[in-house]
Structure 1
Amino acid sequence: MTQGERVNAVRKAREMTMEQFGERIGIQKSAVSKIEKDKVNLSDQTAKSICREFNVNESWLRTGAGGPDNMFIPEDMRYLNAVGKLGNEQNEFKKFCINMLMDLPDKYWDYIYEEFKKFEKKEE
């Protein structure tokens, strides 16, 4: 499978048109078409955008490593990546919150969950 075919597989798996896919990663529909047809090479920036926006395994996208079952990053790895990114934040409050949550006893999680649900309801 070529790199263009792998990009096409991601787009199809997400059930998106070329236009929708391009909008999400910041390129035109025509550029998506050229990439999928292997008329142009996938730039580093576009590859990183695809991986970030659609939780695609970058190694698979670039090389096909692991085959089609390796297309997407598993949910548990996405969580670990997100926590890792927060740990590298310059915002000290975000770091403080993450560290507090990680050390929180289990008995408090239901309470926090209910409090966060209140915020969700207010936004609706």
Structure 2
Amino acid sequence: MDIAQRLVLIREAVGLSQKNFAAKIGRSQSTYCEYEKGKNVPERTIADICREFYVNEDWLRTGEGDMFKSKNNTNEELAFQIGKLLKTNDEFTKNLFLEYLKLPPEMKTLFEDFVHNLAKSK
């Protein structure tokens, strides 16, 4: 499997069209489409893909290891997700996060129970 095929796998794993995937890394759809067809992928593009989608660079380049970086470190994952959120215009999620942080401990517990129950109902 070559890098072009791995790009398709990443894009499918994150559930995006070529157009939306390309937009997330600051490329046009036509440019990104060429990468999936086997055109040489610039170093900057590889770095952007790995940063934006938390892709394991070794896997992208060689196919060795896991597709995505391990997100076991909660602080690292939180920092990564907050950084992504700050770059968006998603005011609802920003406000939801802020309001959650302002809740007293007993209300946070109720909210956590609600979210866990919501996840179970899927």
> Out of 64, 67, 72, which is 1:71 matched to?
67
Please say which structure displays the higher CA radius of gyration: 1
Q: Deviations over 1:25-69 (max 9, x none)?
A: 01010111110110x111100000000000000000011112xxx
State the percentage of identical aligned residues: 36
1:20 correspondence with 2:16? no
SS at match of 1:26: coil
Q: Is the 8 A contact 1:55 1:78 kept in 2?
A: no
1:9 Cα shift? 0.5
Q: How does 1:103-114 map to 2 (within 5 A)?
A: none
Matched, 1:50 2:49: yes
Amino acid at match of 2:24: R
- Equivalenced residue count is 84
- Retained in 2: the 8 A contact 1:11–1:18? yes
In structure 2, the gaps of 5 or more residues are: 80-98, 104-122
Question: Which 5+ residue runs of structure 1 have no aligned equivalent?
Answer: 84-114, 120-124
Distance 2:22 2:5 in 1: 15
Greater than 4 Å deviation, 4+ residue runs: 77-83
Output the CA distance in 2 between the equivalents of 1:78 and 1:41: 35
TM-score between both structures, scaled by the size of structure 2: 0.61
- What is the DSSP-based 3-state SS (H/G/I as helix, E as strand, rest coil) of the residue aligned with 2:72? helix
Which TM-score applies when normalising by structure 1?
0.60
1:7 aligns with 2:7: yes
Matched letter for residue 48 of structure 2? S
Q: Tell me the residue number matched to 1:31.
A: 31
Q: Which residue of 2 aligns with 1:111?
A: none
